[in-house]
Structure 1
Amino acid sequence: MTDCIISACDLVHVFASKSKGTADVRALDGLNLKIKAGELTALVGPDGAGKTTLMRLIAGLYQPSAGQLKVLDIDVAQDPQSVQDRISYMPQRFGLYEDLSVQENLDLYADLHAVPQDIRQQRFERLLAITDLTYFTQRPAGQLSGGMKQKLGLACALMRTPDLLILDEPSVGVDPLSRRDLWGVIEQLVHEEHLTVMISTAYMDEAERCDQVYIMYEGKILKQGSPQQLCEDVKGLTWELKPPQEMKARVLQAHLLRNTAYITDAVPKGNTVRFMTTPQQPVLPATELPEGVSAQSREAELEDAFMLILHQIQNQQDQTAIDHDAHLPSDKNALKSEPDQAPVILVKDVVRKFGDFTAVASTSFQVQRGEIFGLLGPNGAGKTTTFRMLCGLLPATSGALEVAGMNLRYARAQARARIGYVSQKFALYSNLTVLDNLQFFGGAYGLSGNKLKTRIDQALTQFHLDLHAKSGDLPEGHKKHLAMAAALLHEPEIIFLDEPTSGIDPIARRAFWSIIGELADQGITVIITTHFMEEAEYCDRIAIQDAGELLALGSPQQVRQFAGSDILDMNSAFIAIVEKARAAQKT
């Protein structure tokens, strides 16, 4: 066998249209790649780039429409079973049996893979040890946290040692602590068992851990190389600056994107704004910056290279990944530094119990009108329970909750009429078109006639939605936009967003946060949960929960300082705060 474990030549895959008058979807369009044995390879790209389709072809689950694909020197189209006998594939929604215990799931997959009895127990012990599931073997899989489910899924996929391990976005919806642990398991297996691993991910810091990175777009490979090689393209283009006193980082970021054509990308990070200039104008003129602010060069990261490549290809197609005019606040709003002072949400000594289990323990905070408030925490921390109580979907066991001036103990229905809610999972009607969904939910909110038509027209424009598209066929990022558009139709005072950017790529996340910033500048209060800790930098204030307890509350800068004076990024701050609290509980 050659050292090339995967070889694709002019690979094409077309999904035939399921409805009359709708065009076929060309998911892969003449794709070429070669992956060596023993490497950890990442696939990155926007939603709809073809990553999952490629992985399913490699796993022998689809037949190519054209071209050639060899895996382990086997033509997959001719003999998919021989490939499947030698690989392990973990899709985005791994098939755990939630009514079975951890051990019963492992037993089932050992049977499916025909793992010999004499090595089975040794394999169990090793996988349970490296995934930290040794003490949870009798727990039903359905009662595990999101991170533990992902680790169990990985353990099931590795009941045998495969010649190739394929992981399709294994860390989607997983908190930073669980994500770190999951990657520890992957890297340990790669090192000790010399596994060849292909992984798709929406996290650029995960892709930076890999030997090779393939950037996909519209069914093709745009560029490939090691993270270091890809970063060469953006050397001399990466900068950072500190906002003037009293200006928030997200406000400065919006100002930069709106007011200069020399910036390709900008994001808040720490107490700075990191930005990237164009190759045509690598040094930003001082006149393009707010008075008293100067830019400092910084080391290039893989996400910079990814954003530059994607922007360049989209500009060639005369498209723009982030529509600045549609999503960014006007200059007048951008100069607002503080939201109105009147609190719109009051939470005082709130407790929620399920039987003997306390999901939320004596939590207190308040949120002001026009504020972006982030609710962060590991899987199972109590965030969703807090969300459901604030939305009036779940009563508190004790304590006081007020939303939009309404006491939720007595006026939950009235409060719900003044809020919008976007759930973590797509909750619209997949078999209806975009327009049908907006008309249905607009009617449910009491809109009709010209007012409903006007609001739908505004939503279609703001979120760049195709009114005739079937909702279930939309890319993940577009589904999130549709859900948000539906939640905003009745012009709520408050919108709750439960992990709205989970599973979508960096370009789509930036566009989404531009919209969120615009909503806040219009006076709409935004309550959001996220597992992307860098997104916490967009928030005015954040709260970190774990095991139902409120561990930290304040501005991003205050929370970083609380975690430790030497901690500069929110991901490290989050992990430090949660681990410190857990260690204190054990003593």
Structure 2
Amino acid sequence: MTTAITLSGVGKRFGPTIAVDNISAALSAGRVTGLVGADGAGKTTLMRLMAGLLNPDDGSISVNGDIGYMPQRFGLYEDLTVSENLRLYAELRSLAPAEQPAIFARLLDFSGLDGFQTRLAGKLSGGMKQKLGLACALVATPSLLLLDEPSVGVDPVSRRQLWRMVHELAEQGVGVVWSTAYLDEAERCHEVLLLDQGRLLHVGPPAELTKRVEGRCFVIKGGADRRKVQLETSARPDVRDSLIQGASVRLVMEEGAPPPKVEGHEVSAVPPRFEDAFITLLERKAAIPTLPPRHRPAVPTDGIAVRATDLVRRFDDFVAVDQVSFAVKAGEIFGLLGPNGAGKSTTFRMLCGLLPVSSGIAEVGGRDLAHAAAQGRQNLGYMSQKFSLYPDLSVQQNLNFFSGIYGLAGKTQRQTIATMRDVFALDPYGGTNAGALPLGFKQRLALACAIMHGPDTLFLDEPTSGVDPLVRREFWTHINAMAAEGVSVLVTTHFLDEAEYCDRLGIIFAGKLIALGTPDEIKAQARSDAIPDPTLEDAFVALVEKAQTS
């Protein structure tokens, strides 16, 4: 098998920080290699070294052929149309003008963007932007294609389309390196390079690593106290990992340890996943500090914290949200799912009082936001998908600003900021501008700013997009703890393993609510002879495809 790229003792330092530490590997052409690891593992640095954008301090890199590179950011010019972006990349790659029309037609068909040639890149959905970025990287077919976290912010339907496109390229002989923090994606690769703190922990097929935890994975079923069970089991020294999965709790035990017995619950063995093996391979078990107790939220007499009744939002002739209705109980975690552009964030913004409704009723804490938006917003926290932070302000300045606009002052403000810096491990970054933070710490800071005033209702719009499993577990430990105290949480996510943590889910497609129920109820709608045990992603894709054809 032809080698696409060879890494020999590659190292890279930034001052005293070792970003990449003596990595050696040979990656094959015609195969998809996953570059996997937690935030700060060295994935992007290694990707940039392979792309020739950085020079290694140690070792050497040998590439057999041309390179195509799709970076995390700044790959597209959003003020240019789809066609103009393709033309720009073609000219950068010195593609002859006579060859361009046929290549563009092939790439537009391949990426599903035919018909969108005149649309500005900035007006595309997240999934369409990523597919355009991939098309731009392919204007001259490379021997090696480097994709730096291409699925961040992309919905499950578009993510499957991206994977189909990438595997088609591999079948044509292109070597593909796909960097990701989503460990379910590692299972779709032919082989993986697993990094942690700059070191290479594993090279080979993902199944090789997954086999290491066979016989150590279990689920606890039954009872209505899954959050209590998860909290208690995660504190046990013989439990390596514990997380909520639908109505169950999934455990990974330390080697040789039997599963715990939980009264009133059934414990059964389950096949391991790559993420289970990843967690056990790390030398550390995450220790997550807890938020201090807070006041019990005020609960309306009917027990409903958030209610959407026939919500409609129009932008000129376009209906972004169409007759959406649901209710969120006090202390409930409600997940709002849907493809890019489905209307999730628009629904969120109406329920936060940030966007007026065209018709229908949005209520928070028993208040109709059309008549009492200011009072309704006083007791809610909002972490938006973008623009939650001021990037040119430091961590401390962001905390000072947001605590001030939420009405905190004096000793209370100082104590609250100190608590947030401690709980979210922000002390080392106090003077760092928010825009320069690693992604995981940006998200930590954004969550801290959203909750420092002790909101009764919390809106989280894709709070863990692109973060690694350790940060995701940290976030959900805090979210679960707040829900246990009675805080109502609405969350959007494209990462459907994470949606399993919610009490109930609503799926929006083309502005309409097409499904509503618990995670297990949603999965049951996709059960068939072909898929007897569907994942939530299987169910999501099936429901969206059904809605598209109805």
TMscore range, shorter length:
over 0.9
For residue 447 of structure 1, give the secondary structure of its aligned residue in structure 2: coil
- The count of corresponding residues between Structure 1 and Structure 2 is 542
The one-letter amino acid of 2:548's match is R
CA contact (8 A) 2:507 2:515 kept: yes
| Secondary structure, counterpart of 1:136 in structure 2 | coil
Q: Which shows bigger deviation, 407-416 or 529-538?
A: 407-416
- C-alpha distance in structure 2 between counterparts of 1:540 and 1:270, whole Å: 8
Q: Percent identity?
A: 47
Q: SS in structure 2 opposite 1:504? A: coil
1:563 deviates by 3.9
Match of 2:272 in 1: 300
TM-aligned CA deviation for residue 115 of structure 1: 1.9
C-alpha displacement of 1:300: 1.8
**Corresponding residue to 1:264 among 240, 243, 246:** 240
Contact 1:426–1:483 (8 Å) recurs in 2? no
2:260 maps to 1:309: no
Summarize deviations over 1:50-90 as a string: whole Å, max 9, x none: 110111111111122x21222326xxxxxxxxx8xx21100
Cα distance in 2 for partners of 1:327, 1:126 equals 53
Structure 1 residue 461 displacement after superposition: 2.7
User: Which stretch of the first structure deviates more once superposed, 265-274 or 104-113?
Assistant: 265-274
Quote the residue 1:243 is aligned against.
Answer: 222
Alpha-carbon distance, 1:252 to partner: 3.0
Q: Counterpart amino acid of 2:535?
A: D
Cα pair distance change 1:563/1:4, threshold 3 Å: closer
1:71 aligns with 2:62: yes
Whole-angstrom distance in 2 between the partners of 1:290 and 1:568? 26
Corresponding residue of 2:286 = 321
1: distance between equivalents of 2:202 and 2:520?
36
1:520 deviates by 0.4
Query: 1:55 aligned to 2:27?
Result: no
Match of 1:214 in 2: 193
Partner residue, 1:542: 505
For 1:274, the equivalent position in structure 2 comes to 250
SS in structure 1 at match of 2:500 = helix
| Counterpart among 63, 84, 97 of residue 77 in structure 2 | 97
- Counterpart of 2:361, as a letter, is A
Query: How far apart are the structure 2 equivalents of 1:274 and 1:340?
Result: 35
Mapped to 1, the partners of 2:228 and 2:125 lie a distance apart of 35
469 and 208 in structure 1: CA distance in 2 versus 1, 3 angstrom threshold: farther
Q: Does the CA contact (< 8 Å) of 2:246 and 2:502 recur in 1?
A: no
- 1:309 aligned partner, one-letter code: L
Q: CA deviation at 1:582?
A: 0.9
SS in 2 for 1:135: coil
Cα separation, 1, equivalents of 2:114 and 2:397 = 49
Tell me which of 205, 220, 223 is aligned to 2:202.
223
Q: Would you say the 8 A contact 2:182–2:466 is kept in 1?
A: no
Separation in 2, partners of 1:450, 1:113: 59
Task: Identify if the C-alpha distance between structure 1 residues 131 and 554 changes in structure 2 by more than 3 Å, giving closer, same or farther.
Answer: same
Match of 1:483 among 438, 446, 449: 446
Partner Cα separation in structure 2 for residue 135 and residue 567 of structure 1: 37
2-structure distance, mates of 1:527, 1:291: 31
Residue of structure 2 in register with 1:289 after alignment? 261
How many Å separate the matches in 1 of 2:246 and 2:451?
30
Deviation of residue 242 (structure 1)? 1.5
**Cα distance in 2, alignment partners of residues 232 and 561 from structure 1:** 28
1:87 is aligned to: 67
Q: 1:326 to 1:109 in 2, by over 3 A?
A: same
The structure 2 residue matched to 1:572, chosen from 538, 544, 547, is 538
Describe the shift of the 1:422–1:263 C-alpha distance in structure 2 as closer, same or farther (beyond 3 A): same
Asked if structure 1 preserves the Cα contact closer than 8 Å seen for 2:222 and 2:266, the reply is no
2:136 maps to a residue whose letter is: C
Change in Cα spacing, 1:548 to 1:251, as seen in structure 2 (3 Å) is farther
Secondary structure of the equivalent of 1:575? helix
> Any idea what the Cα deviations from partners look like across 1:386-439, whole Å, max 9, x if unmatched?
111111111001111111222211221222221111111253233443223212
How far, CA to CA, are the matches of 1:449 and 1:107 in structure 2? 57
2:460 corresponds to which residue? 497
Distance 2:83 2:310 in 1: 39
Query: Does the 8 Å contact 1:327/1:514 carry over to 2?
Result: no
**2:27 match:** 35
What is the deviation of 1:104?
A: 2.3
The range that moved more, 570-579 or 2-11, is 2-11
SS at match of 1:412: helix
Change (3 A) 1:472 1:142: closer
Report the residue type matching 2:211 in the other structure: E
Render the CA deviation track for 1:24-56: whole Å, top value 9, x for unaligned.
533223333332333311111110111101111
| Structure 1: distance between partners of 2:412 and 2:159 | 45
Looking at structure 1, the residues matched to 334 and 301 of structure 2 have their Cα atoms a distance apart, in angstroms, of 14
For residues 142 and 205 of structure 1, do their structure 2 counterparts lie closer, same or farther at Cα, with a shift above 3 Å needed? Answer: same
Cα deviation digits, residues 242-280 of structure 1 (max 9, x gap): 233x344x443233213x221111233344332211014
- In the TM superposition, what whole-angstrom CA distance separates every residue of 1:293-314 from its partner, at most 9, and x where no partner exists? 342222222111111112xx22
Equivalent pair of 1:42/1:199 in contact (CA under 8 Å): yes
Q: Deviations over 1:98-118 (max 9, x none)?
A: 233222222222222122345
Secondary structure of the corresponding residue to residue 538 of structure 1: coil
> Which letter maps to 2:280?
L
Aligned: 1:520 with 2:483: yes
Matches of 2:414 and 2:301 in 1, distance apart? 31
Letter in 1 for 2:73: R
Q: Is the 8 A contact 1:32 1:220 kept in 2?
A: no
* SS, match of residue 290 in structure 2: helix
Number of the residue aligned with 2:399 = 438
Give distance in 1, aligned partners of 2:431 and 2:525: 47
Residue 547 of structure 2: aligned partner: 581
Task: Indicate whether 1:253 and 2:245 are aligned.
Answer: no
**SS of corresponding position for 1:550:** strand
Amino acid at match of 2:498: E
CA distance 1:194–1:5, change in 2 (3 Å): closer
Question: Within 5 A, what are the aligned runs for 1:60-209?
Answer: 60-64=52-56, 66-72=57-63, 86-191=66-171, 193-209=172-188
Contact kept in structure 2, 1:237 and 1:276, CA below 8 Å: yes
**Distance in 1 of aligned mates of 2:145 and 2:13:** 25
Measure the CA separation in 1 of the matches of 2:504 and 2:216.
Answer: 31
Deviation at 1:517, TM superposition (A): 0.3
1:191-220 C-alpha deviation (Å, 9 max, x unpaired): 1x2101111012222211212211111111
Worse-matched range after superposition: 498-507 or 25-34 = 25-34
- Aligned-partner residue type, residue 436 of structure 2: D
Q: Structure 1 length normalisation: TM-score? A: 0.87
Give the TM-score normalised by the residue count of structure 2.
0.93
**Structure 1: gaps of 5 or more residues:** 17-23, 74-82, 315-319, 334-338
The code of the aligned residue for 1:33 comes to A
SS at match of 1:523: coil
Given that residues 322 and 510 in structure 1 are in contact (C-alpha distance below 8 angstroms), is that contact kept between their aligned partners in structure 2?
no
Secondary structure in 1 aligned to 2:342? coil
> SS state of the match for residue 185, structure 1?
helix
| Partner residue in 2 for 1:414 | 375
Q: Flag structure 2 segments of 5+ consecutive residues without an equivalent.
A: none
For 2:371, what is the secondary structure of its paired residue?
coil
The one-letter amino acid paired with 1:255 is E
CA deviation after TM superposition for structure 1 residue 537, in Å: 1.3
Q: Which has the higher mean CA deviation after the structures are superposed, 367-376 or 551-560?
A: 551-560
| Root-mean-square deviation (Å) | 2.4
- Who is 1:385 aligned against? 346
Q: Which residue of 2 aligns with 1:7?
A: 6
SS in 2 for 1:184: helix
Taking a change above 3 Å as real, the CA distance of residues 180 and 95 of structure 1, as seen in their structure-2 partners, is same
> Judging changes above 3 Å, is the alpha-carbon distance between structure 1 residues 52 and 347 closer, same or farther for their aligned structure 2 residues?
same
